[in-house]
């Protein structure tokens, strides 16, 4: 199993541009999550999904959108990039029926200039 | 919302030394998780604790679930250079309508540097 994969690994955007961060897992997990990590601030939950077709907001959803058309994929969309969205983004997945191990991808480092 | 406070924020130690770090919460947790993040990678689960007072080991790592259920401790014995990284504590963010408890709140992390 590849686990959780994320693309791209790095990206630089100009203010106002849009992009999609891709996340795929091959563990047949129902639950998937998007976090952002800012230096010294830990991980903040942006959006999560409990299954295909179901998504919900986390702690810091503003400026982002998600979709979950399949069990495997959970893309994160930035429509109008802002400097405040410069961060490292992590996708994670879990079985989800209990507080359980969340498996993290390697991250996408995004810079908005 | 729930907050987790980790201390210390950073540590610089010599190889071979033991390390202790802790995590406290303003509210009661029924699960404590400890993750490690290597530089440039995503976090990986080290230890999970499910009962107050529980003491669990994973190699040179030992974690304890505090009796008050508002704190947890992680100890690393005989540190080695590959212990370098950020250590996060995490706990459930609250219950969903179905009764499960899968969202996590993370502390800000303890950055560990080990000098060989």
Q: Does A39 contact B at CB distance below 8 Å?
A: no
Question: What pLDDT shows up at residue A101?
Answer: 78
Question: Can you read off the two tokens belonging to residue B74?
Answer: 């992680």
Q: What is the mean pLDDT of residues A46-74?
A: 95
Question: What pLDDT shows up at residue A99?
Answer: 60
Give the whole-angstrom CA distance, residue B3 versus residue A23: 27
In B, minimum Cα distance to A92 occurs at B42
Question: Can you read off the two tokens belonging to residue B60?
Answer: 């040179």
Among candidates B100, B103, B104 on the partner chain, residue whose Cβ is nearest the Cβ of A97: B100
Question: What pLDDT shows up at residue B104?
Answer: 86
Give the residue among B23, B60, B67, B17 at the shortest CA–CA distance from A42: B23
- Give A67-77 pLDDT, tens digit per residue: 999 999 999 99
3 state DSSP class of B14: strand
Partners of B100 on chain A (C-beta within 8 Å) are 96-98
Question: Can you read off the two tokens belonging to residue B98?
Answer: 């179905």
Higher-pLDDT residue of B67 and A97 is B67
Partners of B9 on chain A (C-beta within 8 Å) are 40
Asked if B85 and B112 count as a contact pair (C-beta separation under 8 A), the reply is yes
Taken as a whole, chain A contains a residue count of: 113
Question: What pLDDT shows up at residue B97?
Answer: 43
Supply the DSSP symbol for B67.
T
Among candidates B43, B100, B106 on the partner chain, residue whose Cβ is nearest the Cβ of A98: B100
Question: What pLDDT shows up at residue A37?
Answer: 95
Question: What pLDDT shows up at residue B1?
Answer: 60
Give A 71-110 residues with CB within 8 A of chain B.
Answer: 90, 92, 94, 96-102, 104-107
* Cβ-based burial of B77 (10 A; exposed 0-12, middle 13-18, buried ≥19): middle
Each of the 116 residues of chain B gets a pLDDT tens digit; together they read 678 999 999 999 999 999 999 999 988 888 899 999 998 899 999 999 999 999 999 999 999 999 999 999 999 999 999 999 999 999 887 655 444 556 788 999 999 999 99
């Amino acid at each position: 199993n590849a686990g959780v994969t994320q693309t791209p690994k790095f990206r630089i955007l100009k203010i106002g541009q849009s992009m999609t961060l891709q996340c795929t897992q091959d563990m047949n997990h129902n639950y998937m999550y998007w976090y952002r990590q800012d230096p010294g601030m830990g991980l903040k939950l942006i959006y999560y999904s409990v299954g295909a077709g179901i998504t919900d907001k986390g702690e810091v959803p503003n400026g982002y959108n998600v979709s979950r058309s399949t069990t495997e994929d959970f893309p994160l969309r930035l429509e109008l990039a802002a400097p405040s969205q410069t961060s490292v983004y992590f996708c994670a997945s879990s079985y989800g029926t209990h507080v359980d191990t969340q498996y993290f991808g390697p991250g996408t480092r995004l810079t908005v200039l | 919302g729930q907050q987790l406070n980790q201390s210390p924020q950073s540590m610089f130690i010599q190889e071979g030394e033991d390390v202790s770090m802790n995590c406290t919460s303003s509210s009661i947790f029924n699960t404590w998780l400890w993750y490690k993040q290597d530089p440039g990678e995503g976090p990986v689960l080290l230890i999970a604790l499910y009962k107050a007072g529980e003491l669990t080991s994973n190699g040179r790592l030992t974690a304890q679930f505090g009796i008050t259920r508002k704190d947890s401790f992680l100890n690393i014995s005989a540190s080695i250079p590959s212990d370098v990284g950020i250590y996060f504590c995490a706990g459930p963010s609250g219950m969903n309508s179905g009764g499960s408890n899968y969202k996590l709140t993370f502390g800000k992390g303890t950055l560990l540097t080990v000098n060989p």
